A = this chain, B = another copy of it.
Amino acid sequence: MSLIPIRPGSPFGTPPERSDAARNRERLLQAARDLVAEHGVDAVTMDMLACRADVGKGTVFRRFGSRAGLMMTLLSDAEAEFQREFIFGPPPLGPGAPPLERLIAFGEARIKYVEEYGELARAAAEHSPQNRHDAPPVVLWHRHIEMLLREAGLDRDPWLLALSLGATLDPERMLHSLRAHGVAPERLAASWRELVTRLLKDC
């Protein structure tokens, strides 16, 4: 498994940008970060970004494809860090702990991630079941869960079971529990622990 590159400069394996293009891109991203900090994710539009960065709207769309694409790019540093932690980091999130402990730690880390980046993650998946279910990072989370289920000896269709467990950790869903229902993150984490502990019992 390798890190999924949704990084500025090389989204999904495109060739490296020339340095002026890279500078322009960084300027656009900084303007987008500022707008998000000032107005919140939900209020930021492509028009606002074009206006703030003093470029045409066409430039913004060519750069990011869509509003969801912009949000995905803004998320990419946090996502890369999260990937590093569960693939290479210390146990129990990283390798070296039993699969159940790693699964529990994975859910807890996802919940923390959603507390911090949930609005961005929701906006990145917006209007697109494709982004929501099949974006490269999502596929990687599911592979990780599947690998841990197999390690734990749960070998009846672990891929599909991993998709189900992934659905319970869906950013939009968890964000809704946290924000609209006022569920505390610790309570979400306890429920995840209960779910996977029961699931892996006697494997």
Contacts and interface: CB of A to CB of B under 8 A. Distances in A.
Nearest to A162: B191
A10 interface: no
This chain's copy number in the assembly: 2
A167 interface: yes
Contacts of A122: 129
Contact of A180 (B134, B180, B191): B134
A45 B86 CA distance: 44
Chain A contact surface mostly: helix
Interface stretch (A68-76, A93-101, A171-179): A171-179
Interface in A186-203: 187-188, 190-192, 194-195, 198-199, 201-202
Interface string A118-130: 0000100001011
Contacts of A127: 127
A122 B194 CA distance: 30
Contacts of A198: 198-199, 201
Interface stretch (A1-9, A27-35, A50-58, A153-161): A153-161
B177 A173 contact: no
B191 A160 contact: yes
A59 interface: no
13 contacts: A129-B172, A129-B176, A129-B180, A132-B176, A133-B176, A133-B180, A134-B180, A157-B187, A157-B194, A164-B191, A164-B195, A167-B173, A198-B201
